[in-house]
Amino acid sequence: MIRRIICAFSFFAVTDVLAAEDKAGGPVLDTASIFSWVLSTFVILSLIVALAYLLKKTRFVKVNKGTLGIENQLYVGPKQRVVIVKAGSKRVLLGVTQNQITYLTDVDDVKLEFERIMSGADEQTQKSVKENDSTKGE
């Protein structure tokens, strides 16, 4: 892909030089024009490489539209990570290394359970405050 882009830019640059030679009627290959051409080619190629790197790192393009996918991951070392994989409605925690994948546990919906616990604790707190208020009033 990158080779095709480089060939296309080279082709357009050569045609520009040849066209300029026909118009001017004199030598076109002076030091300033060669330096300008090399600098502009380097800048364009640098932009292409930088954009490709950013797209790869940000994973901006997501191709996977299926029900199986990585929901979250945490790197714990070089080529070692912990991954939450979602398959349909089930979520599984896996340990991934360079040589193997290890099943760790199923992942429950921790947020819902936390909210349930907190709402129960909140009700108990309100009851204890009411009891304290009633005993102080007597």
DSSP state of 16: H
Measure the CA–CA gap between 112 and 72, rounded to whole angstroms. 18
pTM: 0.36
The b-or-e profile of 71-95 (16+ CB within 10 A means b, else e) is eeeeeeeeeeeebbbeeeeebeebe
Q: What is the mean pLDDT of each run of 10 residues along the chain (138 residues)?
A: 71 60 57 85 95 80 70 88 86 91 82 64 60 58
Strand partners, 70: 85
